Structure 1
Protein backbone atom coordinates (compact mmCIF):
# COMPACT_ATOMS: atom_id res chain seq x y z
CA UNK A 1 0.00 0.00 0.00
CA UNK A 2 1.46 3.30 -1.03
CA UNK A 3 1.57 6.09 1.56
CA UNK A 4 -0.16 9.31 0.60
CA UNK A 5 2.17 12.29 0.91
CA UNK A 6 0.27 15.36 2.14
CA UNK A 7 0.53 18.36 -0.13
CA UNK A 8 3.10 21.00 0.90
CA UNK A 9 2.72 24.76 0.87
CA UNK A 10 3.96 26.33 -2.26
CA UNK A 11 6.45 29.19 -2.06
CA UNK A 12 3.75 31.64 -3.09
CA UNK A 13 1.42 30.43 -0.35
CA UNK A 14 4.19 30.81 2.25
CA UNK A 15 4.92 34.33 1.06
CA UNK A 16 1.23 35.21 1.32
CA UNK A 17 1.08 33.91 4.91
CA UNK A 18 4.23 35.82 5.85
CA UNK A 19 2.81 38.97 4.27
CA UNK A 20 -0.45 38.64 6.21
CA UNK A 21 1.47 38.14 9.47
CA UNK A 22 3.58 41.23 8.75
CA UNK A 23 0.48 43.34 8.11
CA UNK A 24 -1.18 42.13 11.32
CA UNK A 25 1.99 42.86 13.30
CA UNK A 26 2.19 46.37 11.85
CA UNK A 27 -1.43 46.96 12.82
CA UNK A 28 -1.04 45.62 16.35
CA UNK A 29 2.26 47.25 17.37
CA UNK A 30 0.91 50.84 17.61
CA UNK A 31 -2.01 49.63 19.72
CA UNK A 32 0.34 47.70 22.01
CA UNK A 33 2.67 50.70 22.30
CA UNK A 34 -0.25 53.00 23.06
CA UNK A 35 -1.50 50.62 25.74
CA UNK A 36 1.96 50.49 27.32
CA UNK A 37 2.22 54.29 27.29
CA UNK A 38 -1.20 54.58 28.89
CA UNK A 39 -0.19 52.10 31.58
CA UNK A 40 2.95 54.14 32.31
CA UNK A 41 0.87 57.32 32.51
CA UNK A 42 -1.52 55.69 34.98
CA UNK A 43 1.37 54.36 37.09
CA UNK A 44 2.93 57.83 37.13
CA UNK A 45 -0.41 59.39 38.12
CA UNK A 46 -0.70 56.85 40.93
CA UNK A 47 2.81 57.76 42.13
CA UNK A 48 1.95 61.45 42.21
CA UNK A 49 -1.38 60.79 43.92
CA UNK A 50 0.39 58.94 46.74
CA UNK A 51 3.15 61.53 46.98
CA UNK A 52 0.53 64.28 47.14
CA UNK A 53 -1.20 62.42 49.96
CA UNK A 54 2.15 62.20 51.77
CA UNK A 55 2.53 65.99 51.49
CA UNK A 56 -0.93 66.51 52.95
CA UNK A 57 -0.28 64.03 55.78
CA UNK A 58 2.95 65.86 56.55
CA UNK A 59 1.05 69.15 56.65
CA UNK A 60 -1.57 67.61 58.93
CA UNK A 61 1.17 66.64 61.39
CA UNK A 62 2.94 70.00 61.03
CA UNK A 63 0.18 72.44 61.94
CA UNK A 64 -0.84 72.89 58.34
CA UNK A 65 2.65 73.54 56.95
CA UNK A 66 3.73 71.88 53.72
CA UNK A 67 7.30 70.57 53.77
CA UNK A 68 9.99 72.91 52.50
CA UNK A 69 11.97 71.95 49.44
CA UNK A 70 15.09 71.77 51.58
CA UNK A 71 16.02 72.62 55.17
CA UNK A 72 19.65 73.70 55.39
CA UNK A 73 19.65 73.77 59.19
CA UNK A 74 19.75 69.98 59.65
CA UNK A 75 21.79 67.04 58.34
CA UNK A 76 24.30 69.33 56.61
CA UNK A 77 25.45 68.89 53.01
CA UNK A 78 22.57 70.97 51.73
CA UNK A 79 20.10 69.91 54.39
CA UNK A 80 17.17 67.58 53.99
CA UNK A 81 14.78 67.80 51.06
CA UNK A 82 11.10 67.17 50.43
CA UNK A 83 11.74 63.56 49.38
CA UNK A 84 13.19 62.82 52.82
CA UNK A 85 10.57 64.83 54.68
CA UNK A 86 7.68 62.92 53.13
CA UNK A 87 9.22 59.45 52.86
CA UNK A 88 7.93 58.24 56.23
CA UNK A 89 4.37 58.81 55.01
CA UNK A 90 4.65 56.32 52.14
CA UNK A 91 7.88 54.31 52.73
CA UNK A 92 8.25 53.41 49.06
CA UNK A 93 11.17 54.95 47.15
CA UNK A 94 9.70 53.58 43.91
CA UNK A 95 7.05 56.29 44.07
CA UNK A 96 9.81 58.80 43.28
CA UNK A 97 10.49 57.11 39.95
CA UNK A 98 8.40 57.94 36.89
CA UNK A 99 8.09 54.72 34.83
CA UNK A 100 8.99 56.52 31.60
CA UNK A 101 12.20 57.98 32.98
CA UNK A 102 15.55 56.22 32.48
CA UNK A 103 16.51 57.15 36.04
CA UNK A 104 16.24 54.51 38.72
CA UNK A 105 14.39 54.97 41.99
CA UNK A 106 16.60 56.34 44.79
CA UNK A 107 17.75 54.13 47.62
CA UNK A 108 15.43 54.19 50.62
CA UNK A 109 18.10 55.72 52.87
CA UNK A 110 18.75 59.24 54.12
CA UNK A 111 21.69 59.54 51.74
CA UNK A 112 19.79 58.04 48.82
CA UNK A 113 16.84 60.38 49.30
CA UNK A 114 19.18 63.33 49.82
CA UNK A 115 20.78 62.62 46.44
CA UNK A 116 17.40 62.36 44.71
CA UNK A 117 17.79 64.44 41.58
CA UNK A 118 14.97 63.05 39.61
CA UNK A 119 11.91 63.21 37.62
CA UNK A 120 9.23 64.74 39.84
CA UNK A 121 9.59 68.47 40.46
CA UNK A 122 8.39 70.27 43.59
CA UNK A 123 6.95 73.75 43.25
CA UNK A 124 9.64 75.71 45.07
CA UNK A 125 7.30 78.64 45.57
CA UNK A 126 5.48 76.57 48.16
CA UNK A 127 8.40 77.12 50.51
CA UNK A 128 9.68 79.93 52.68
CA UNK A 129 13.33 79.60 53.58
CA UNK A 130 13.73 76.52 55.77
CA UNK A 131 10.00 76.35 56.45
CA UNK A 132 7.15 75.17 54.31
CA UNK A 133 4.21 77.39 53.55
CA UNK A 134 0.91 77.07 55.36
CA UNK A 135 -1.46 75.21 53.06
CA UNK A 136 -4.26 77.50 54.26
CA UNK A 137 -2.42 80.43 52.66
CA UNK A 138 -2.76 78.95 49.20
CA UNK A 139 -5.73 80.75 47.77
CA UNK A 140 -6.72 78.21 45.12
CA UNK A 141 -5.36 74.75 46.05
CA UNK A 142 -7.22 73.07 43.19
CA UNK A 143 -5.19 75.20 40.74
CA UNK A 144 -1.84 75.21 42.56
CA UNK A 145 0.89 72.93 41.27
CA UNK A 146 2.47 70.77 43.98
CA UNK A 147 4.48 68.06 42.17
CA UNK A 148 4.77 67.29 38.48
CA UNK A 149 6.82 65.55 35.82
CA UNK A 150 10.06 67.45 35.32
CA UNK A 151 13.81 67.14 34.88
CA UNK A 152 14.68 68.48 38.33
CA UNK A 153 13.35 67.82 41.85
CA UNK A 154 13.05 71.56 42.50
CA UNK A 155 11.35 73.99 40.14
CA UNK A 156 12.15 76.87 40.31
CA UNK A 157 15.12 77.24 42.72
CA UNK A 158 15.68 80.82 43.77
CA UNK A 159 14.87 82.53 40.47
CA UNK A 160 11.46 82.75 38.89
CA UNK A 161 12.39 83.21 35.28
CA UNK A 162 11.44 81.52 32.07
CA UNK A 163 14.97 80.47 31.10
CA UNK A 164 15.54 78.61 34.36
CA UNK A 165 12.10 77.06 34.13
CA UNK A 166 12.81 75.62 30.69
CA UNK A 167 16.17 74.27 31.84
CA UNK A 168 14.82 72.62 34.96
CA UNK A 169 11.80 71.12 33.24
CA UNK A 170 14.34 69.72 30.76
CA UNK A 171 12.25 70.40 27.68
CA UNK A 172 15.15 69.53 25.40
CA UNK A 173 15.16 65.93 26.67
CA UNK A 174 18.95 65.93 26.57
CA UNK A 175 20.16 65.65 30.15
CA UNK A 176 19.01 63.77 33.23
CA UNK A 177 15.59 62.52 32.17
CA UNK A 178 12.90 62.95 29.60
CA UNK A 179 10.89 66.15 29.34
CA UNK A 180 7.81 66.85 31.44
CA UNK A 181 5.30 66.17 28.66
CA UNK A 182 6.49 62.59 28.41
CA UNK A 183 3.07 60.95 28.69
CA UNK A 184 1.64 61.27 25.19
CA UNK A 185 2.26 65.01 25.28
CA UNK A 186 0.92 65.54 28.81
CA UNK A 187 2.52 66.62 32.08
CA UNK A 188 1.23 64.62 35.03
CA UNK A 189 0.59 67.07 37.88
CA UNK A 190 -0.69 66.71 41.43
CA UNK A 191 -2.26 69.84 42.88
CA UNK A 192 -2.28 71.10 46.46
CA UNK A 193 -5.80 69.75 46.99
CA UNK A 194 -4.52 66.26 46.11
CA UNK A 195 -6.08 65.66 42.69
CA UNK A 196 -3.94 64.56 39.74
CA UNK A 197 -4.28 65.65 36.15
CA UNK A 198 -2.41 65.17 32.90
CA UNK A 199 -2.03 68.66 31.45
CA UNK A 200 -1.14 69.48 27.88
CA UNK A 201 2.17 71.34 27.90
CA UNK A 202 0.73 74.65 26.67
CA UNK A 203 -1.82 74.58 29.49
CA UNK A 204 0.82 73.58 32.04
CA UNK A 205 2.95 76.56 31.03
CA UNK A 206 0.12 79.08 30.73
CA UNK A 207 -0.62 81.70 33.35
CA UNK A 208 -1.72 85.34 33.64
CA UNK A 209 1.79 86.68 34.22
CA UNK A 210 4.64 88.33 32.27
CA UNK A 211 6.25 86.02 29.73
CA UNK A 212 9.67 86.09 31.41
CA UNK A 213 8.33 84.68 34.67
CA UNK A 214 7.53 81.13 35.68
CA UNK A 215 3.83 80.29 35.29
CA UNK A 216 3.42 79.88 39.05
CA UNK A 217 5.20 83.13 39.96
CA UNK A 218 4.39 84.27 43.47
CA UNK A 219 4.43 87.73 45.00
CA UNK A 220 5.61 87.09 48.55
CA UNK A 221 4.59 90.51 49.88
CA UNK A 222 1.27 90.19 51.65
CA UNK A 223 -1.97 88.51 50.72
CA UNK A 224 -2.64 84.87 50.11
CA UNK A 225 -0.46 82.88 47.76
CA UNK A 226 -1.82 82.09 44.35
CA UNK A 227 0.52 79.35 43.21
CA UNK A 228 0.03 78.00 39.75
CA UNK A 229 -3.26 79.74 39.06
CA UNK A 230 -3.97 79.11 35.39
CA UNK A 231 -6.92 79.52 33.02
CA UNK A 232 -7.97 76.02 33.96
CA UNK A 233 -9.90 73.68 31.65
CA UNK A 234 -12.55 71.21 32.64
CA UNK A 235 -10.97 68.13 34.16
CA UNK A 236 -10.54 65.27 31.72
Structure 2
Protein backbone atom coordinates (compact mmCIF):
# COMPACT_ATOMS: atom_id res chain seq x y z
CA UNK A 1 0.00 0.00 0.00
CA UNK A 2 1.46 3.35 -1.11
CA UNK A 3 1.99 5.93 1.61
CA UNK A 4 1.44 9.66 1.03
CA UNK A 5 3.38 12.28 2.95
CA UNK A 6 1.79 15.67 3.49
CA UNK A 7 2.98 18.84 5.12
CA UNK A 8 1.25 19.82 8.27
CA UNK A 9 0.09 23.39 8.67
CA UNK A 10 2.93 24.11 11.09
CA UNK A 11 5.52 22.75 8.67
CA UNK A 12 4.11 24.88 5.86
CA UNK A 13 4.25 27.98 8.05
CA UNK A 14 7.86 27.23 8.96
CA UNK A 15 8.78 26.88 5.26
CA UNK A 16 7.01 30.15 4.41
CA UNK A 17 8.79 31.85 7.33
CA UNK A 18 12.20 30.63 6.14
CA UNK A 19 11.51 31.76 2.57
CA UNK A 20 10.40 35.18 3.84
CA UNK A 21 13.59 35.60 5.84
CA UNK A 22 15.68 34.59 2.82
CA UNK A 23 13.85 37.07 0.60
CA UNK A 24 14.26 39.84 3.18
CA UNK A 25 18.00 39.22 3.19
CA UNK A 26 18.36 38.76 -0.58
CA UNK A 27 16.24 41.61 -1.98
CA UNK A 28 18.23 44.50 -0.42
CA UNK A 29 21.46 42.93 -1.70
CA UNK A 30 20.02 42.63 -5.20
CA UNK A 31 18.75 46.20 -5.07
CA UNK A 32 22.18 47.44 -3.97
CA UNK A 33 23.81 45.51 -6.82
CA UNK A 34 21.36 47.06 -9.27
CA UNK A 35 22.22 50.55 -8.00
CA UNK A 36 25.94 49.89 -8.35
CA UNK A 37 25.46 48.60 -11.89
CA UNK A 38 23.42 51.68 -12.78
CA UNK A 39 26.14 53.96 -11.37
CA UNK A 40 28.75 52.17 -13.51
CA UNK A 41 26.62 52.64 -16.63
CA UNK A 42 26.24 56.31 -15.71
CA UNK A 43 30.03 56.66 -15.40
CA UNK A 44 30.53 55.13 -18.85
CA UNK A 45 27.81 57.37 -20.30
CA UNK A 46 29.41 60.48 -18.85
CA UNK A 47 32.82 59.67 -20.35
CA UNK A 48 31.40 59.83 -23.89
CA UNK A 49 30.28 63.50 -23.96
CA UNK A 50 33.51 64.43 -22.16
CA UNK A 51 35.52 62.86 -24.97
CA UNK A 52 33.32 64.50 -27.59
CA UNK A 53 33.73 67.91 -25.97
CA UNK A 54 37.50 67.46 -25.99
CA UNK A 55 37.36 66.61 -29.69
CA UNK A 56 35.07 69.59 -30.27
CA UNK A 57 37.56 71.88 -28.52
CA UNK A 58 40.30 70.68 -30.89
CA UNK A 59 38.15 71.49 -33.90
CA UNK A 60 36.73 74.78 -32.64
CA UNK A 61 39.29 75.83 -29.96
CA UNK A 62 36.51 76.17 -27.36
CA UNK A 63 33.26 74.57 -26.24
CA UNK A 64 29.90 76.24 -25.55
CA UNK A 65 28.35 76.08 -22.12
CA UNK A 66 24.64 76.58 -22.80
CA UNK A 67 22.90 73.76 -24.68
CA UNK A 68 26.21 72.02 -25.34
CA UNK A 69 24.37 69.06 -26.85
CA UNK A 70 23.11 71.31 -29.67
CA UNK A 71 26.70 72.09 -30.62
CA UNK A 72 27.67 68.40 -30.50
CA UNK A 73 24.64 67.60 -32.66
CA UNK A 74 25.39 70.35 -35.20
CA UNK A 75 29.04 69.26 -35.42
CA UNK A 76 28.06 65.66 -36.10
CA UNK A 77 29.37 64.10 -32.90
CA UNK A 78 25.91 62.86 -31.93
CA UNK A 79 22.66 62.34 -33.79
CA UNK A 80 19.11 62.91 -32.66
CA UNK A 81 18.31 59.19 -32.77
CA UNK A 82 21.16 58.01 -30.52
CA UNK A 83 21.81 60.12 -27.45
CA UNK A 84 21.09 57.80 -24.51
CA UNK A 85 24.65 58.32 -23.24
CA UNK A 86 23.73 61.93 -22.41
CA UNK A 87 21.23 60.72 -19.83
CA UNK A 88 21.82 59.03 -16.47
CA UNK A 89 20.21 55.55 -16.44
CA UNK A 90 18.66 56.38 -13.05
CA UNK A 91 16.71 59.17 -14.73
CA UNK A 92 13.73 58.71 -17.01
CA UNK A 93 15.03 59.36 -20.55
CA UNK A 94 13.23 61.61 -22.98
CA UNK A 95 11.94 60.16 -26.24
CA UNK A 96 13.83 62.64 -28.40
CA UNK A 97 16.64 65.16 -28.10
CA UNK A 98 14.02 67.88 -28.26
CA UNK A 99 14.81 71.08 -26.39
CA UNK A 100 18.18 69.78 -25.12
CA UNK A 101 17.26 70.35 -21.48
CA UNK A 102 17.40 66.80 -20.09
CA UNK A 103 21.13 66.07 -20.36
CA UNK A 104 24.03 65.76 -17.97
CA UNK A 105 24.61 69.17 -16.48
CA UNK A 106 27.53 71.36 -17.51
CA UNK A 107 29.10 73.75 -15.03
CA UNK A 108 28.35 77.37 -15.87
CA UNK A 109 30.88 80.16 -15.50
CA UNK A 110 30.80 83.88 -16.12
CA UNK A 111 31.99 83.28 -19.69
CA UNK A 112 29.81 81.91 -22.49
CA UNK A 113 32.36 79.32 -23.60
CA UNK A 114 35.06 77.09 -22.15
CA UNK A 115 38.65 76.92 -23.32
CA UNK A 116 40.65 73.85 -22.32
CA UNK A 117 43.83 75.91 -22.69
CA UNK A 118 42.76 78.46 -20.07
CA UNK A 119 41.99 75.90 -17.36
CA UNK A 120 44.93 75.74 -14.94
CA UNK A 121 44.11 72.37 -13.35
CA UNK A 122 41.96 70.29 -15.74
CA UNK A 123 42.19 67.20 -13.51
CA UNK A 124 40.32 69.02 -10.71
CA UNK A 125 38.06 71.25 -12.78
CA UNK A 126 34.48 69.91 -12.78
CA UNK A 127 32.86 70.16 -16.21
CA UNK A 128 29.90 67.72 -16.37
CA UNK A 129 27.92 65.98 -13.64
CA UNK A 130 24.67 64.36 -12.62
CA UNK A 131 22.34 67.30 -12.31
CA UNK A 132 18.86 68.34 -11.26
CA UNK A 133 16.58 71.36 -11.55
CA UNK A 134 14.88 71.98 -8.22
CA UNK A 135 11.84 73.94 -9.27
CA UNK A 136 8.54 72.20 -8.39
CA UNK A 137 6.62 75.20 -9.76
CA UNK A 138 8.03 74.60 -13.23
CA UNK A 139 5.78 71.97 -14.81
CA UNK A 140 8.19 71.45 -17.70
CA UNK A 141 11.59 71.21 -16.05
CA UNK A 142 10.90 70.88 -12.33
CA UNK A 143 12.83 68.11 -10.53
CA UNK A 144 14.50 66.72 -13.66
CA UNK A 145 18.00 66.09 -14.89
CA UNK A 146 19.08 69.44 -16.27
CA UNK A 147 21.61 70.54 -18.91
CA UNK A 148 23.36 73.10 -16.71
CA UNK A 149 24.32 73.63 -13.09
CA UNK A 150 25.91 76.56 -11.35
CA UNK A 151 29.38 76.47 -9.85
CA UNK A 152 29.98 79.88 -8.32
CA UNK A 153 27.37 81.96 -10.15
CA UNK A 154 23.71 81.75 -11.08
CA UNK A 155 20.42 80.65 -9.60
CA UNK A 156 20.14 78.16 -6.77
CA UNK A 157 17.74 75.78 -8.50
CA UNK A 158 20.13 74.06 -10.90
CA UNK A 159 22.42 71.79 -8.93
CA UNK A 160 24.64 68.74 -9.02
CA UNK A 161 22.51 65.80 -7.91
CA UNK A 162 24.03 63.19 -5.55
CA UNK A 163 21.75 60.39 -6.75
CA UNK A 164 24.16 57.44 -6.65
CA UNK A 165 24.37 56.36 -3.00
CA UNK A 166 24.76 59.98 -1.87
CA UNK A 167 27.32 60.73 -4.56
CA UNK A 168 27.17 62.28 -8.01
CA UNK A 169 29.12 61.06 -11.00
CA UNK A 170 31.35 63.93 -12.03
CA UNK A 171 33.31 64.46 -15.26
CA UNK A 172 36.48 66.53 -15.11
CA UNK A 173 38.06 68.70 -17.78
CA UNK A 174 40.88 66.21 -18.38
CA UNK A 175 38.33 63.50 -19.30
CA UNK A 176 38.21 61.31 -16.21
CA UNK A 177 35.02 60.55 -14.27
CA UNK A 178 34.56 59.67 -10.62
CA UNK A 179 31.79 59.75 -7.99
CA UNK A 180 31.94 62.70 -5.61
CA UNK A 181 30.06 63.53 -2.44
CA UNK A 182 28.82 67.00 -1.60
CA UNK A 183 31.82 67.55 0.69
CA UNK A 184 34.25 66.52 -2.05
CA UNK A 185 32.60 68.88 -4.50
CA UNK A 186 32.96 71.74 -2.04
CA UNK A 187 36.69 71.03 -1.73
CA UNK A 188 36.86 71.21 -5.53
CA UNK A 189 35.10 74.59 -5.24
CA UNK A 190 32.22 73.30 -7.30
CA UNK A 191 29.38 73.47 -7.04
CA UNK A 192 28.47 76.14 -4.56
CA UNK A 193 25.12 74.39 -4.49
CA UNK A 194 24.51 70.66 -4.55
CA UNK A 195 21.56 68.48 -3.69
CA UNK A 196 21.58 65.15 -1.92
CA UNK A 197 18.17 63.56 -1.31
CA UNK A 198 17.15 62.16 2.08
CA UNK A 199 18.70 60.96 4.30
CA UNK A 200 21.38 63.31 3.08
CA UNK A 201 19.25 66.45 3.09
CA UNK A 202 21.82 68.51 4.98
CA UNK A 203 23.60 69.04 1.66
CA UNK A 204 20.55 70.67 0.14
CA UNK A 205 21.32 73.91 1.91
CA UNK A 206 24.95 74.12 0.80
Paired residues for 1:1-236 under 5 Å: 3-62=1-60, 64-65=61-62, 67-70=63-66, 81-87=67-73, 88-91=76-79, 92-102=82-92, 104-105=93-94, 107-108=96-97, 112=98, 115-125=99-109, 128-129=111-112, 132-151=113-132, 152-156=146-150, 160=153, 164-165=155-156, 167-169=157-159, 180-207=161-188, 214=192
* C-alpha RMSD of the superposition: 2.3
- Unpaired runs of 5+ residues, structure 2, are 133-145, 194-206
How does the TM-score come out when normalised to structure 1? 0.68
8 Å contact 1:96–1:120 — kept in the other structure? yes
TM-score by length of 2: 0.77
Q: Distance in 1 between matches of 2:183 and 2:39?
A: 18
Runs of at least 5 residues in structure 1 that lack an aligned partner in the other structure = 71-80, 170-178, 216-236
How far did 1:119 drift? 4.8
Residue 122 of structure 1: how far off its partner (Å):
0.5
Q: 1:50–1:90: 8 Å Cα contact kept in structure 2?
A: no
Structure of larger gyration radius: 1
Q: Deviations over 1:67-86 (max 9, x none)?
A: 2123xxxxxxxxxx201112
What is the aligned length? 176
Runs of 4+ in 1 over 2 A off after TM superposition: 205-209
2:130 and 2:189 map into 1 onto residues whose CA distance is 22
